[in-house]
Amino acid sequence: MARIWPDASAPVGLLQAAADPVRWTVLARLAEGTACVCELQEHFPIAANLLSYHLRVLRDNGLVTTSRRGRWVDYSLAPDAWQRLRDALPGSLPEGP
């Protein structure tokens, strides 16, 4: 796909990261403030490793950042997450100031 529609590759990847029920809800929760995995876990009746998988997708797309605090890992929304998602919507003007 990157070969054929180079313009679409990056934004589509970002949108795909957000277009999942678990990841969408995680992002919505993090929009209200930082949370450790164990707290996120309480919101999701899914296995811990599955949640970890989804968090990894968000990390790999730069939508969230992490920091370890003792035994816990805190997840925060990346500062530009909202902006980047917004710019990734089709019809949005190409990235710029």
Partner DNA sequence: TGATTGATTCAATCACGATTGAAGTATAAC
Partner DNA sequence: GTTATACTTCAATCGTGATTGAATCAATCA
* Binding site residues, its own copies, CB under 8 A: 1, 4-5, 7-9, 11-12, 15-16, 18-21, 24-28, 30-31, 45, 77, 81-82, 85-86, 89-91
- Which of 2, 28, 38, 89 is the binder for DNA (CB under 7 A)? 38
Q: Which stretch binds DNA (CB under 7 A): 26-34, 40-48, 77-85, 86-94?
A: 40-48
- How far, in Å, CA of 55 to CA of 46, rounded? 13
Beta carbons within 10 angstroms of residue 17's beta carbon: 23
Contact 36, 43 (CB under 8 A): no
56 binds, among DNA, its own copies, none (CB under 5 to 8 A by kind): DNA
- Residue 82 touches which member of DNA, its own copies, none, C-beta under 5-8 Å by kind: its own copies
Strand ranges (E), the chain = 35-36, 64-69, 72-77
Two structure tokens written together for 8: 């679409």
